Amino acid sequence: MTVNLEVTNLVKKFGKFEALKGINLELNAGEVLGYIGPNGAGKSTTIRSILGILKPTSGSIKVFGKDAFDNAAEIHKRISYIPGTVYLWPNLTGGETIDMLLALSNQKHTAKTDQLIQDFHLDITKKNRDYSKGNLQKVALVATFSTDADLYIFDEPTSGLDPLNEDIFQQKLLDLKHENKSILLSSHILSEVERAADRIAVINDGQIIQSGTLEELQNVASSEVEVSTKVVADKLATFAGVTNLAEIKANSYSFKIKIAALEPVMTYLTGLGIINLSIQRPSLDELFLKYYNVKEVK
Ligand code: ADP
Ligand code: MG
């Protein structure tokens, strides 16, 4: 396994203000890491540190095994990055801009570039000053995806995209992943990283408050089960992890449970004979709110 990015105990202070309070992240080849947190959490500060734009106050950042700040120029040759807000030359057309961005990273306009322009349905003949926010974002996305790199960093890339283009964006991420690239994808909306991310790190107030696979994160909250059985299920309440149990009608029940605790309950219910069953996993946005409440709960 190739580790392309390793952030260890990263602390970043702006004057007295500690924006990052000891961040740890790891990203391997062929992996998408979702970096989730509300506005002001520290996502862009982390990314700008990884890019070597900001010097860490303490801790270390290794990109391709090398210190991110000391070797920024060399590392940049293998990184493709798109910032959250895109500012592009107002008088260039979209097409000229794409070629300019590619040239700036020593890249050429290839068949892949044309394919991306087509897939994102981008009219490249307009001037940047005439594009909508979403189209301007597509100009930058085409250049970012078209760039041949090993580490792709997207900082809130889909804020201006409509659902159709969001979908194309997600497909392009999966393509990169299958090409064994590393992708760091930041967002303040969980559903934006849910599809592509292998692992998710949740940042709040400069600290990673949770990280793991989607399944691991989902196990922090309970799923909602509704079940109808052939005979009365009077032992349901005795199982560990069953909460909010209610009998909807005769032999029909609803309850909450974490997926990890579900198996013995299912064995019991199967023994009784299941007539109907639905399991609603917790939505990520629900989890997100739960995480954000951590601070208030403490
Ligand atoms: P996010 O990208 O998650 O929205 P940022 O990383 O941009 O958050 O910001 C994290 C915190 O650091 C915020 O409180 C922000 O105001 C502060 N911050 C970011 N950059 C600077 C800077 N150059 N000087 C002072 N404070 C900064
Ligand atoms: Mg940001």
Q: What CATH code is carried by the domain that includes residue 227?
A: 3.30.70.260
Look at residue 214 in the predicted model and tell me its pLDDT.
82
Q: How many CB atoms lie within 10 A of CB 78?
A: 15
Percentage, residues of the chain above pLDDT 70: 95
CA of residue 60 to ligand 1 center, whole Å: 19
Is 90 exceeded by the pLDDT of residue 191? no
149 lines ligand 1 (CB under 6 A): no
Q: What is the CATH number of the domain that holds 206?
A: 3.40.50.300
Is 80 exceeded by the pLDDT of residue 239? yes
User: 164 with 200, same domain?
Assistant: yes
Per-chain residues with Cβ under 5 A from ion ligand 2: 43-44
Torsion of CA 68, 44, 99, 30, to 10 degrees: 60
Over residues 228-240, the mean pLDDT reads 96
* Residue whose CA is at the smallest distance from ligand 1 atom 6: 42
CB crowding 217-227: b at 16 or more within 10 Å, else e: bbbebbbebeb
Question: Beta 3-14 vs 58-63: how paired, if at all?
Answer: antiparallel
Over residues 191-214, the mean pLDDT reads 89
199 lines ligand 1 (CB under 6 A): no
User: 36 with 179, same domain?
Assistant: yes
Final residue belonging to a domain, choices 180, 211, 242: 211
Residue 129 lies in a domain: yes
Look at residue 297 in the predicted model and tell me its pLDDT.
38
User: 133 with 232, same domain?
Assistant: no
- For the CA of 47, the closest atom of ligand 1 is 6
Evaluate whether 162 touches 138 at the Cβ level (below 8 Å): no
Residue 298 lies in a domain: no
User: 17 with 140, same domain?
Assistant: yes
With bands split at pLDDT 50, 70 and 90, how would you rate the model's confidence at 162? confident
- Domain around 10: 3-211
Average pLDDT across the chain, whole number: 91
User: 264 with 194, same domain?
Assistant: no
User: 206 with 227, same domain?
Assistant: no
Look at residue 292 in the predicted model and tell me its pLDDT.
60
Burial of 151 (C-beta count, 10 Å sphere; 0-12/13-18/19+): buried
* Residue whose CA is at the smallest distance from ligand 1 atom 12: 19
User: 96 with 206, same domain?
Assistant: yes
User: 204 with 149, same domain?
Assistant: yes
CA of residue 213 to ligand 1 center, whole Å: 26
Per-residue pLDDT of 31-59, as tens digits, reads 999 999 888 999 999 999 999 999 999 99
Look at residue 295 in the predicted model and tell me its pLDDT.
47
Look at residue 216 in the predicted model and tell me its pLDDT.
83
Instruction: Note the ligand closest to the C-alpha atom of 37.
Output: 1
pTM comes to 0.83
Number of compact structural domains in the chain: 2
Percentage, residues of the chain above pLDDT 90: 76
User: 95 with 196, same domain?
Assistant: yes
User: 37 with 179, same domain?
Assistant: yes
Evaluate whether 257 touches 241 at the Cβ level (below 8 Å): yes
